[in-house]
Structure 1
């Protein structure tokens, strides 16, 4: 059948800024070793696959999600060590939570701020909601530019400041004292701070303990890096009064019974996922060691399951690695600070060996 012709008038009903945007790009990984999206490379052991399959098969798919979601919230709160006086809301991945925050804070003239380069959804969600986005460049070594951040907070008075801990795509944890001063400045002018801990399983630190000292700090986490990227489940923790307001814009039944049961199952077997994270951290150390022996490659410290590198020619190296069957992420055009940079995902021992061989051959 021929596709129907879209009438020009119908396209005119779609916002001009949306038409000028690029959709979130997902690379075609068919036939390639997929090391471009910071996924956990390990699947569930067969015995757990069978057990989970039985549980999912027994769910009442004919009913809307019910109280099981509250069981999951309690489980996540315990797992994360949620502070007293805080509450928790669930999202269909962190992406949905970022969108809901933009909706909830959409007052006239509202601004969202984040260091750049950073997670693209902070800017995209702001733009889609019609909010102003202010990206504050990091330093040349991808540290927070404290003076610039504080100056922009004073001038822009943002509704939300996002601080990824650790950051994507740079993979580093920023100076905690600088973060404290940014949080204080944002609190003084009456704005929110969202600490995005998506990569917490691979980092040595969390802000969860300090968050309890503030009435304007929210913590966001995801089970994607825990090992459940396909399940799409994120959660936002913060002072109960704040979470209660943001939760009002959440769509009803946004977490399916399948997502919910998978997440509960994972929490029951957290030791399996903790062991996987430990293996990934060990593999990350080996990758960093190997990169240190490559004279043509500059690399930065990592507290995530990715490593940022700079090569003489990012496009040539990316294409060469792809020709060798390895897909990584070319981030060199994301921001001027990332010129000739590539992002490597930490995989299994065998995958990493293949990746490093392909990198050496492609330089």
Structure 2
């Protein structure tokens, strides 16, 4: 046994690092990114703002200017506290670390965002997934029973859910919150596309935290997420937050984006319209020889099921179209693919390649 093998945790050695699929030269529709980018009219102004950043100084510890800009352009309750993270991923990790001792339970309906389970593992917490219904709606009786049995410290509710795109009903969230023995995290990563949010009710209950990110709006590269909760929860989670976890370039870029937020809101509205057009196009592929099931989505992606999903995925990749094969992630996702909603042009490239691939597989 080598020194490394004797030193590194056995559970770390037994797993693999998170794999990001190579995408150079591809039409990239696998990661729910906004394909439109920073509006060209704003790029020079952003560059000027970034030129003034003092790279030789550590960031201010509380990001007060960023928080003020965020509050001016969001629905955060005045009495709620805000915590920033290096993407919402870091905040998920911090929440679990702040709440869970080894062996404590973290729970979520599944299939869902994989990092809930990953960060639970690294904190030696036990992740318990509760299967959704076959149509990806919440199995409330099963979830309530599991919470009663396992007494989770943290329950994650993705609203809408990834990779399904399905959104919970607000009444369902309230039912879970009232029954949960610990913290309920309402993860609103796709809020911009959902026309629904639990933010206004975050202080109504003693055990709720709302999580959001700027990644899906068009700022995935700057890596900024934020958590909103009562001062009591924020104070405890802040204790495990690394100092200076959000760098000065990220802060400046997001502050700038918030002053031009209407541009990003317009992009989100366009993607919502494109989502419906793409959904209709995928549904139109259905015929007596081909069953294509497209699931309702309140996010910026669509989940769909069809025969030979892996072969379809590989066929698309050979044609320069990268989407996500999720068929192995959970039994409920068998033969499922997930595609990011993009521009009219990229959506059409995807559809043309899909039709061609299906024709080839039918031969």
Range class of TM-score, shorter chain: over 0.9
Deviation for aligned residue 1:180: 1.5
Deviation for aligned residue 1:78: 3.3
Residues 50 and 252, structure 2, Cα contact 8 Å, conserved in 1: yes
Deviation for aligned residue 1:183: 1.0
Deviation for aligned residue 1:174: 1.5
The number of residues matched between the two structures is 354
Change (3 A) 1:157 1:67: closer
Deviation for aligned residue 1:67: 6.7
Q: Which runs of 5+ in 1 are unaligned?
A: 1-6
Deviation for aligned residue 1:69: 1.4
Q: 1:221-240 to 2 correspondence within 5 Å? A: 221-240=212-231
SS of aligned partner of 2:239: helix
Q: Does 1:206 align with 2:197?
A: yes
Aligned to 2:303: 308
SS of aligned partner of 1:66: coil
Greater mean alpha carbon deviation, residues 59-68 or residues 48-57 = 59-68
Alignment TM-score, normalising by the size of structure 1: 0.95
Aligned with 2:315 (options 303, 306, 320): 320
Q: Does 1:354 align with 2:354?
A: no
Aligned to 1:195: 186
Q: Which runs of 5+ in 2 are unaligned?
A: 359-363
Tell me the distance in 2 between the aligned counterparts of 1:78 and 1:239.
19
- Give CA-to-partner distance per residue, 1:199-226, whole Å, 9 cap, x none: 0111111111222211110000000011
Alignment TM-score, normalising by the size of structure 2: 0.95
Deviation for aligned residue 1:108: 4.8
Tell me the distance in 2 between the aligned counterparts of 1:10 and 1:321.
40
Aligned to 1:28: 22
Aligned to 1:3: none
SS of aligned partner of 1:134: strand
Residues 202 and 228, structure 2, Cα contact 8 Å, conserved in 1: no
Q: 1:1-363 to 2 correspondence within 5 Å? A: 8-66=2-60, 69-186=63-180, 189=181, 191-295=182-286, 296=290, 297-363=292-358
Please list every run of at least 4 consecutive aligned residues from structure 1 whose deviation after the TM superposition is greater than 4 angstroms. none
Tell me the distance in 2 between the aligned counterparts of 1:108 and 1:131.
5
Deviation for aligned residue 1:68: 7.9
Greater mean alpha carbon deviation, residues 25-34 or residues 208-217 = 208-217
SS of aligned partner of 1:237: strand
SS of aligned partner of 2:226: strand
SS of aligned partner of 2:78: coil
Cα RMSD, aligned residues only: 1.2
Residues 330 and 342, structure 1, Cα contact 8 Å, conserved in 2: yes
